[in-house]
Structure 1
Amino acid sequence: MSRQHTSGDLRADRRYAYAEACLAEGDAAGAAEMAEQALDLAPRFAPAWLLLGRAREALHAAGGRETDLQGALRAYANALDLDPEDVLGSRLRLAQLGVGDALAAISPAYVRALFDGYAARFERHLVGELGYRGPTMLCASIDALAGAGRRFARVLDLGCGTGLMGATLEGRFDRLAGVDLSPAMLAKAEARGLYHRLVAGELTGFLAGEAAASADLVVAADVFIYLGDLRPALAAIARVLGPDGLAAFTVQSHDGAGIVIGPDGRYAHADAEVLAAADAAGLSLRSLTPAAIRRQNGLGVPGRIAVLSPGLA
C-alpha cells in the first residue's frame, strides 16, 4: 500500500487490496463493492474512502448516473475529513469535479508523499519513458538571453527533485542550493555531490529565508505545475534576485484563459496568467517560449519556458 497507512484491521486491508486490484483491471463496480466492505470494517480508513471515490467517479464516467457522482463527492469529502493535511490528494479529486478552491487543490503534503513514493523510479520514468527535457530546454532559453555558457555565482534550484537541473548546470555555478518538499528526492540529489546546500521544505518559505538580491539565477523545472497562483512564488523570487539575475521556469499551458487543472492532475497556466504574475512581482518577462518538455500518452504536453529578470520592461 504505497503512500497508504494500514487500517489496523487485516480483513479491511485485504478488501482494500482487492478493491485496488479491481479498479486497476477496470472493474469499477467490483472496486466500489470491496471498498465499501473495507469501510464497514474500518470506517475511519481514509485511503478506502478515496478509493471508493475513485470507483464511484469511474462508474459515473461510464454511465453518467448522478448517484455515482454524488457518491464520489461524499467519499472524497470523507477522506479529506480523516486526512486534513491531504496527503492522499482528496482536494485535487474534488477540484477536478468542480468542488472547492481549485487554486489550493494541490497540497504540499500530497506532493511530498507523491514524490517520496516516486523517488526510486523518478528519473527512469520521467526521462526514459516520458521523454522529459525540462532542464536542457531551460538552459537553452537561459543561454539565448545570457550567452552560451555564462557562469553564475549563486544558483537556487526550486523543487530540485533528484538534481537533474543541477546536473545540467554542472560547471556553470560557484554555489548551488536546492529545495524540495520530498526528503527521498533530496537524498538522490545529495548523492550527485553537486549541491552545496539542500533544504527540505516549501519553496516560498525557503526563499523567505534567503538574503535579498543574493541570487544570480533561480530555476524551477517542472515545479510550477503544482502551484495554482504563481504570484507568491514570483514575488519571493523577485526579492532574492540580484540586479543582473535571471529566473527561469517551466509551466504547462493551455489555450483558454486563467488557470486550470488538467486530467493529469497538474495546473496549466494561460500565457496571460504568467505575464500577470510576473508584472505583479515587478519582474520583466524576457521570453516565453512554447515547449513540450515531456510526453503524456505519447503526445507532447503543451508548455512554456519563461525567463524573467528584475525590473519591468
Structure 2
Amino acid sequence: MLDPKNHIVALNYGNCLADAGMNSQAVDVLQAAVELSDGMDSELFLNLGVAAKRSGMKKLSIDSLRRSLELKPDQVLAKRLMLAQIEDGERSKDQDWYLTEKENAEYARILFDDYAEKFEEELTQQLDYKVPEQIVELLLQNVMNHSSLSSPDQISWNSVLDAGCGSGLVGEAIHEYTDRIFGVDISQEMVKKTRERRCADGQKMYTMVEDQELVAYMRAQGESSFDAIVAADVLCYFGDLVDFFKEARRILATGQCSGWLAFSTEDVVEGKDDGKAARGFCLLNTGR
C-alpha cells in the first residue's frame, strides 16, 4: 500500500513498473504520485511523461514533459521526447525548447549510459540485431565492386574508425579486415564495454577507444587518418549532419580500398511524414 505522506514511494514503485514494461500501470501509479507531491518534482513529471509516451497517451506525455521542463529547463531527455511528439504547427510556443547540438549529444550520453548494461543482450538476443554485420558486409562488397580485389580476404585496412562504437559490435564484424580499430562514443559506460572486447587470441580488439562527442573527436584527427569509417545506428541521434560529413571527408584516406564511409539511417517516407523529409532531417516520434 502506498504511503499517503510520501510521493517518493509511489514514484519508485511507478519506476519499477515502467522498468518491467508495465507502462499503463506505471502511469496510474505515477499520476497518484503527482497527487501526493507538491507538484515541484521534475523527475516525477519526466518519468510520467516517458511512461505515458510508451502507453500511447500523447497529451498526458507532452503535458508532463512540459511541466518537467518548467521545473528544470536543462532536462534534455524531457526536451527531446516532448518535441518528438509535438506536431510542427504546434511547436511555435515551444520554440525556446529546441535542442542544440550539445543537447543532442547529452541526450545520447544519458540514454546509452543508462542502457549500457542491458544494451547488447537486448539487441542481439531479444531483437536479433544485425546492423553491424550487415553494414560491414555491404562495405566489403562495395570495396570489391570498386577495386580489383576478388575476395574480402584481400582487404586489409591500416585503420578503421568505429564512429559511435557503442559496445563494440562493429568491431566484432570488421576486426579481421583491419590492423587497427579506433572507437569513439559519447557514453562512458558504452566505452567501458568496448574497451573490454578481445579477439580470439586474447588481444584487445580496439587499438584505442575515446569517450567524446563524435564530431569533436573527428576534428581532432589529422587528414587522411582512416581508411574507412563505420557509423552503425549513430546518425539518427544527430540533427544537421553537415559537419559530420565534412570531417569524414577530411579524415578519410584515398586509395584502392580507402576512402569509405558506411552508415545506417532510419526511413522517413515522403508523403506520410507531414513534409518533414523535405527538410533533410527531422525528429521522429521515437526521439531519434
TM-score (norm 2): 0.75
Question: In structure 1, what is the equivalent of residue 230 of structure 2?
Answer: 219
Cα shift readout 1:90-112 (whole Å, capped 9, x = no counterpart): 33223322335777597222211
Question: In structure 2, what is the equivalent of residue 140 of structure 1?
Answer: 137
Cα shift readout 1:227-273 (whole Å, capped 9, x = no counterpart): 1222221112111111231111111112213434334332xxxxxxx
The structure carrying a bigger strand percent of its residues is 1
Residues 65-80 of structure 1 mapped to structure 2, 5 A cutoff: 69=59, 72-80=61-69
Question: In structure 2, what is the equivalent of residue 35 of structure 1?
Answer: 33
Q: Which of the residues 260, 269, 287 maps onto 1:246? A: 260
Q: Which of the residues 174, 180, 190 maps onto 2:179? A: 174
User: Cα distance 1:18–1:135, how it changes in 2: closer, same or farther (>3 A)?
Assistant: closer
Question: In structure 2, what is the equivalent of residue 117 of structure 1?
Answer: 114
Separation (CA, whole Å) in 1 of partners of 2:86 and 2:34: 21
User: Which AA in structure 1 matches 2:218?
Assistant: L
Q: Is the 8 A contact 1:39 1:48 kept in 2?
A: no
Q: Is the 8 A contact 1:35 1:52 kept in 2?
A: no
Question: Is residue 128 of structure 2 the alignment partner of residue 131 of structure 1?
Answer: yes
Using the TM superposition, give the Cα deviation of residue 77 of structure 1 relative to its aligned residue in structure 2, in angstroms.
2.5
Question: In structure 2, what is the equivalent of residue 296 of structure 1?
Answer: none
Q: Which of the residues 185, 193, 199 maps onto 2:190? A: 185
TM-score (norm 1): 0.70
Q: Which range moves more in the overlay, 222-231 or 31-40? A: 31-40
Question: In structure 2, what is the equivalent of residue 206 of structure 1?
Answer: 217
Separation (CA, whole Å) in 1 of partners of 2:134 and 2:184: 21
Using the TM superposition, give the Cα deviation of residue 82 of structure 1 relative to its aligned residue in structure 2, in angstroms.
4.2
Separation (CA, whole Å) in 2 of partners of 1:93 and 1:209: 34
Residues 281-296 of structure 1 mapped to structure 2, 5 A cutoff: none
Using the TM superposition, give the Cα deviation of residue 164 of structure 1 relative to its aligned residue in structure 2, in angstroms.
0.7
Separation (CA, whole Å) in 2 of partners of 1:75 and 1:11: 20
Cα shift readout 1:201-242 (whole Å, capped 9, x = no counterpart): 110000010001221111101111211222221112111111
User: Which AA in structure 1 matches 2:83?
Assistant: L
Segments of 5+ residues of structure 1 without an aligned counterpart are 1-9, 63-67, 267-313
User: Which AA in structure 2 matches 1:251?
Assistant: T
**Aligned partner of residue 177 in structure 1, secondary structure:** strand
Question: In structure 2, what is the equivalent of residue 17 of structure 1?
Answer: 12
Question: In structure 1, what is the equivalent of residue 269 of structure 2?
Answer: 255
User: Cα distance 1:22–1:143, how it changes in 2: closer, same or farther (>3 A)?
Assistant: closer
Q: Which of the residues 42, 58, 80 maps onto 1:46? A: 42
Question: Is residue 105 of structure 2 the alignment partner of residue 91 of structure 1?
Answer: no
Cα shift readout 1:119-165 (whole Å, capped 9, x = no counterpart): 11211110111111111111121112212231111111111011111
Q: Is the 8 A contact 2:80 2:99 kept in 1?
A: no
The structure carrying a bigger helix percent of its residues is 2
Using the TM superposition, give the Cα deviation of residue 81 of structure 1 relative to its aligned residue in structure 2, in angstroms.
4.2
Separation (CA, whole Å) in 2 of partners of 1:79 and 1:213: 45
**Aligned partner of residue 261 in structure 1, secondary structure:** coil
Q: Is the 8 A contact 2:43 2:68 kept in 1?
A: yes
Residues 2-13 of structure 1 mapped to structure 2, 5 A cutoff: 11-13=6-8
Segments of 5+ residues of structure 2 without an aligned counterpart are 145-151, 198-203, 271-276
Q: CA RMSD in A?
A: 2.9
Q: Which range moves more in the overlay, 110-119 or 251-260? A: 251-260
User: Cα distance 1:155–1:38, how it changes in 2: closer, same or farther (>3 A)?
Assistant: farther
